[in-house]
Homo-oligomer: A and B are copies of this chain.
Amino acid sequence: MTESQIKSQVKESVEAVRAQKPLAPSITNTVTINFVANAQLAVGGSAAMVYLPDEGEFVSEVGSAVYINAGTMFPVYEESLPRTAKRLFELKKNWVLDPVGIGIGSLRTKLLAGFKEFPPSIVRGNASEVIALAKLWGIELSTSSQGPKGVDTVDSVNDAENAAKALAKYINEKRGGLGGAVAVSGIEDLVTDGENVVYSKGGSHFMEKITGSGCSLGGVCAVYAGVASPFIAALTATQIYNLAGKRAEAKVNAPASFQVAFLDELYLASAEDVANNPFELK
């Protein structure tokens, strides 16, 4: 893809979401669930959160795309997550996985490992999480990479480029060519479909001073995945986050004000500005 093609498709995604209000249901953690929903609404999508197995299947059917975030595990997830992922796979629907906390606890590990069979169309995580997921799925990487590190990132976005590309290729293949993408969050954010690699710029140092900037980015990826390919969806979400983050930071001097300003800027950002937010196509 060319830079100009990418910009044009990002712009269309922003506009399509505002026109269609796609429903992007979530099974997500209790810490940032409210932020996820409000971010989804701010960009123009619709939200619905569930926990139970048959509800996960139901929302997979009625939703445009789905978001699964492994943040706070409940016992019922043992049934809900596999059944939801399987149904999404059968329906060939886009869904986004945030493997947050990978490496913590046996149930989380088992469920994240199980997603290899019914993979998401988009993985959104920090560098350490993306590397850890590739390892958990036994995906061979051309460079050495590190193991699970818990909730905090220690690897850099660059370190995760190979893992991200390999994961995206695996997803695309397993989903029969329906596309796959991985978004790695960091100082600059990497988005790849296995072939194209984009580094998106902007954001704010306050992103790390509020909980849920990553989780809500995953939820917003799902909103755009209701109207666009996994790659364009992940990139559009990343671009609007970097734009809104930069704009919000310019207005405030502390994190709670930042969060309010950031959500406001998600709502106010024009499609044009999101498409033109600085990025680099490698």
B-chain residues with CB within 8 Å of residue A62 when the two chains form the complex: 150
Q: Could you name 24 residue pairs across A and B whose Cβ atoms are closer than 8 Å?
A: A31-B37, A32-B34, A38-B211, A41-B211, A42-B254, A46-B152, A47-B211, A48-B104, A50-B104, A52-B74, A52-B75, A52-B105, A55-B73, A55-B105, A58-B104, A74-B74, A75-B75, A252-B264, A254-B263, A255-B267, A256-B262, A256-B263, A256-B264, A257-B261
Given known contacts A34-B35, A34-B211, is B73 in contact with A255 (CB within 8 Å)? no
A268 in contact (CB, < 8 A):
yes
Interface pair B59/A72, CB less than 8 Å apart: no
A40-58 CB mask vs B (1 if < 8 Å, else 0) is: 0110001111111011001
A91 in contact (CB, < 8 A):
no
Task: State which of B38, B49, B55, B76 has its C-beta within 8 Å of the C-beta of A30.
Answer: B49
A87-110 CB mask vs B (1 if < 8 Å, else 0) is: 000000000000001001111100
Interface pair A74/B51, CB less than 8 Å apart: yes
Task: State which of B72, B212, B260 has its C-beta within 8 Å of the C-beta of A50.
Answer: B72
A154 vs B52: C-alpha distance when bound (angstroms): 25
Interface pair B108/A55, CB less than 8 Å apart: yes
Interface pair A38/B263, CB less than 8 Å apart: no
Task: State which of B50, B73, B254 has its C-beta within 8 Å of the C-beta of A51.
Answer: B73
B-chain residues with CB within 8 Å of residue A74 when the two chains form the complex: 51-52, 74, 76
Chain A interface (Cβ within 8 Å of chain B)? 23, 29-35, 37-38, 41-42, 46-52, 54-55, 58-59, 62, 71-76, 101, 104-108, 150-152, 208-212, 252-257, 259-265, 267-268
Interface pair B209/A267, CB less than 8 Å apart: yes
A101 vs B51: C-alpha distance when bound (angstroms): 13
Give me 12 other A-B pairs in contact (C-beta within 8 A), A31-B33, A38-B259, A75-B75 excluded: A23-B152, A30-B30, A34-B34, A34-B212, A38-B211, A41-B255, A47-B211, A50-B104, A50-B105, A52-B74, A55-B104, A256-B262
Given known contacts A49-B29, A210-B41, A211-B47, is B267 in contact with A260 (CB within 8 Å)? no
A51 vs B101: C-alpha distance when bound (angstroms): 13
